[in-house]
Structure 1
């Protein structure tokens, strides 16, 4: 069936459609209330099938590359929205906009039903009517919580009340000691009220911390003063300074987007109890132009996900967008109450939007000053990459004679290493090829939760490059891959060998660049970080294995038998969960008893 015939036979039902290029690569995923009507709007059927001349430049370019399409029928437009969002996150199509900031933000909470309540941190709704939430916090939640316990005389730990005895916290005047002393609820509530005021009012909290920092400095307790200084900086980092004060208990979530030719930034500001408590932002690369409707949809779907937030607030936006009502309907289901998406035209709410847009413009300006786009653009041109590699994942494996075999993935985004996104893997494979296959397969399996990047870089040659491309293709994912390996000198590829030069491999070409080439140095820097992460994790794993091997040896299990067990089970964790009969079949009854008793 030709593309034209397939389009003309589309059903008048809700669903999701996918466009593919001549190589079978996914170009675009879209949703539709009516598949036939939506998809046909992209095309002009006479005198031949071509792009509708009324399309935007971005969509017109995409349609010109489209040679085939697939579609999935669903029950409703809402179901289409959810499926579309899931496919975009998992497959990262070329012409869709992908936001990666899908983490949940922490809240500080207190359970008022307890006799002596204490504050803690959560990221989810707790099933109790007596919970009070404060947040969300983009950064600094733990610092705020620790500061509260440093200033207020609250029950410090969950286990404190169970002990029924006064502890060190009472001795250093950081707890009233209700575990043993007859502290009235009214007296304890005074401390809770003070803590609540400090959480709500960062200015008041920071003032108390600064007083304490100055006291430590005057007492020559410089280490403690430095710790407080760092705490203050982290708490300040999450907030946008503003004179806007509603003098009420109103809550708002504010979203704003600003863009340049190649970059955009999404700013999120959270107002609670009439005051701005925190903010966050996310950059994204504009590979094929900007679609504000899609970007606002992705931002709201990505932030709220499918879980009710501890605090639901009206959403303020600077402008409306095509899917506004559909997103509001979805969020109403998620919140369990009506979701309000507002476009303020005047007053303080309009001022909040203006503040968000101002900060977005400043972030975009700062981004241009710090991001080394030139090298990325030159690498894109050299290696014929589909996108400027703003987010890169780099892989390496490490082992010692097949022992403590591990894989590591490091992440480079927005011109710096994102260490919170690093991942390490315990591997069962023994050879380099199988180890890389196992590592990459594990990563692909997590794409539905953590979207694919713009580029993969592998520590290896052409064989591993082909392996990666095959894995991606078999999972329907179109992603650029670069491999980097040492040129062999005297049949060996030594990292420290002076004459050995690095070679870059892409799907189409092999590059032997000069050692002074900035593009090569950029890839080398990323490869070296992955190598460092893999070796560090290998050493940690090997140390743990050695310690466990020594303990088993002390219980009479020989080194040869330990190696036999590891060859069979792969890890000590797997051995620990093995049955008595399984171990006995490998060794003997006596050793099986020894091992099972050891792990008890």
Structure 2
């Protein structure tokens, strides 16, 4: 009987080395399916397979991994010098490329810390998101919300030094909000006592709330309603920081608690930040997953929480349950921060009780989420359009121009509301919609390393632009769901009437026509219209600026034809002004070139 020829995957399995590294599985379309790290590449990757009677997925794998192996036809690997380096590379690939079968805990935010620099004669509380490279820095946090409200409250109630630099008593001294250390009106010893009281309030916000409520009532009695309202809002924000906890942490310790809960295809990642024995900050995030991989989830969650630029406020980490790569992750953090850092799963005692509390909180978050209207809508979108991911983070793209002038592109971001800080606009060079969208999406894809891919791209356009977006996403290696929304045409014109436009939704699986009152359509229209608004706004700003620049050049006697020729060649006015004389002379003659250079 003739032996069946070896597949590409079988040959690649034979070439694996016994070294640390990262491995990647691809399907027949060369789409990245899964990224993993290994201490021994050969041993780890081969463990996914059974080799008799023919190559197939081992039954020891989870159903998710068995399905991945069934799709895999090609394998690549990268050697690293250590397992810790492999862990970093694995995490980077997952963030950038969003492989189909990896768990992705999406959170690209950096959270603020409140810190004190004790090298200052009269130290102040300040906010940072990165390590301050000074020897006598004390960090509090991170604060996942309310850091500024907390800082404002400290400066409102305690007469701390209000300004970074001051050489004489100012308005804050006159209203008793500062005791003028700049003029020597308070000693360092007395100021230190105030600082200690403020620090105690920072670690126990209930002290601040009580004091602020008293001040708010006094302001209201004196009919200073505007200031009273500001304090009311501060109080509400600070109350959100508090965690009702009846456990007594006996020692004034600093540590972090991490817990995961998984129910009904929802994963809740939760972190308690404990300083001086008190929970000062709580983080939680919900992710929709078909299957839960405890090891992957803990690795990503802890690694992202202690990135290389993150201030280290404690060196003890406690986890609700142990996981496979705990030791290698601990070694990596020790190496990263050049300090001894421990990661442990306590079995008994007060730490066990706090871990249990964190886990129960995570489970409650999942129960609360099931009642959330927006979460239900996102799940409906996923199911109806057969998306691979729950579209928690959505990027929406649109272009705008006027007869080939002021050509711009826009990207808006939706994640539990419009995230305006994440909006981006782009100057584009091409004159047709297809090339403009190609340029726009390519620019976005090239930035996945710094700003990881979202769950979903929504394109303002039809089938052609959908196919283009899919090609660009695939070429980047990122695993992104894609939808396109094309406007209803009435008398060959786009129709945008809210609640009445019969827009069509296009996916790689087909074309969809939803009722004009369908919540899914209305939601996608809302996203598209916001991208359109943002694109038009930037286009108008750009055109106004270009018109101003154009008038300057026209004032030199340049004709409209010469002006268009220059713009077509250089792209924008800034490049025209930067061009050297010879380039300008070749395009518009020495006389015009001299006028332009003299204007600059």
TM-score (norm 2): 0.90
5+ long unaligned stretches in structure 1: 596-600
1:161-200 equivalences in 2 (<5 Å): 161=166, 164-180=167-183, 182-200=185-203
**For the residues of structure 2 that align with 1:61 and 1:576, how far apart are their CA atoms?**
58
Report how far residue 138 of structure 1 moved. 0.8
Report how far residue 182 of structure 1 moved. 4.9
- C-alpha contact (below 8 Å) 1:308/1:336 kept by paired residues: no
**For the residues of structure 1 that align with 2:508 and 2:191, how far apart are their CA atoms?**
67
Report how far residue 469 of structure 1 moved. 1.3
Does 2:228 align with 1:225?
yes
**For the residues of structure 2 that align with 1:217 and 1:498, how far apart are their CA atoms?**
44
Structure 1 residues 539 and 347: alpha-carbon distance in aligned structure 2, compared to 1, 3 A threshold: farther
Structure 1 residues 180 and 307: alpha-carbon distance in aligned structure 2, compared to 1, 3 A threshold: closer
**For the residues of structure 1 that align with 2:255 and 2:499, how far apart are their CA atoms?**
60
Partner of 2:597: 592
Partner of 2:58: 52
Partner of 1:447: 448
Partner of 1:125: 131
**For the residues of structure 2 that align with 1:77 and 1:454, how far apart are their CA atoms?**
29
Structure 1 residues 581 and 240: alpha-carbon distance in aligned structure 2, compared to 1, 3 A threshold: farther
3-state SS of paired residue (1:173): coil
Structure 1 residues 541 and 70: alpha-carbon distance in aligned structure 2, compared to 1, 3 A threshold: same
Any idea what the Cα deviations from partners look like across 1:326-345, whole Å, max 9, x if unmatched? 10111111121111001112
Structure 1 residues 319 and 499: alpha-carbon distance in aligned structure 2, compared to 1, 3 A threshold: closer
In the alignment of these two chains, the number of paired residues is 589
Does 2:304 align with 1:302?
yes
**For the residues of structure 1 that align with 2:531 and 2:223, how far apart are their CA atoms?**
42
**For the residues of structure 2 that align with 1:497 and 1:304, how far apart are their CA atoms?**
45
**For the residues of structure 1 that align with 2:145 and 2:15, how far apart are their CA atoms?**
51
**For the residues of structure 1 that align with 2:248 and 2:580, how far apart are their CA atoms?**
64
Partner of 2:4: none
Partner of 2:502: 501
- C-alpha contact (below 8 Å) 1:251/1:272 kept by paired residues: yes
- C-alpha contact (below 8 Å) 2:21/2:40 kept by paired residues: yes
Partner of 1:520: 521
Structure 1 residues 210 and 322: alpha-carbon distance in aligned structure 2, compared to 1, 3 A threshold: same
Any idea what the Cα deviations from partners look like across 1:28-65, whole Å, max 9, x if unmatched? 11111111111111111111111112222221122222
Partner of 2:3: none
Partner of 1:204: 207
3-state SS of paired residue (1:425): strand
**185-194 or 88-97: which moved more?**
185-194
Does 2:468 align with 1:467?
yes
Partner of 1:398: 400
**237-246 or 293-302: which moved more?**
237-246
Match of 1:14 among 15, 20, 30: 20
**For the residues of structure 1 that align with 2:498 and 2:246, how far apart are their CA atoms?**
61
1:144-543 equivalences in 2 (<5 Å): 144-158=150-164, 160-161=165-166, 164-180=167-183, 182-287=185-290, 289-307=291-309, 309-372=311-374, 374-414=376-416, 416-496=417-497, 501-542=502-543
Any idea what the Cα deviations from partners look like across 1:371-417, whole Å, max 9, x if unmatched? 44554444334433223323322112233444444332222335x43
Backbone CA RMSD of aligned residues = 2.9
**For the residues of structure 2 that align with 1:184 and 1:328, how far apart are their CA atoms?**
44
**129-138 or 395-404: which moved more?**
395-404
TM-score (norm 1): 0.90
**For the residues of structure 1 that align with 2:554 and 2:231, how far apart are their CA atoms?**
47
Any idea what the Cα deviations from partners look like across 1:113-166, whole Å, max 9, x if unmatched? 2223322111222222222222211111111222222223333233x32xx344
3-state SS of paired residue (1:411): strand
**For the residues of structure 2 that align with 1:17 and 1:186, how far apart are their CA atoms?**
59
Structure 1 residues 115 and 475: alpha-carbon distance in aligned structure 2, compared to 1, 3 A threshold: same
**For the residues of structure 2 that align with 1:196 and 1:574, how far apart are their CA atoms?**
53
Structure 1 residues 2 and 71: alpha-carbon distance in aligned structure 2, compared to 1, 3 A threshold: same
**For the residues of structure 2 that align with 1:261 and 1:540, how far apart are their CA atoms?**
47
Report how far residue 522 of structure 1 moved. 2.8
Partner of 1:37: 43
Report how far residue 168 of structure 1 moved. 2.6
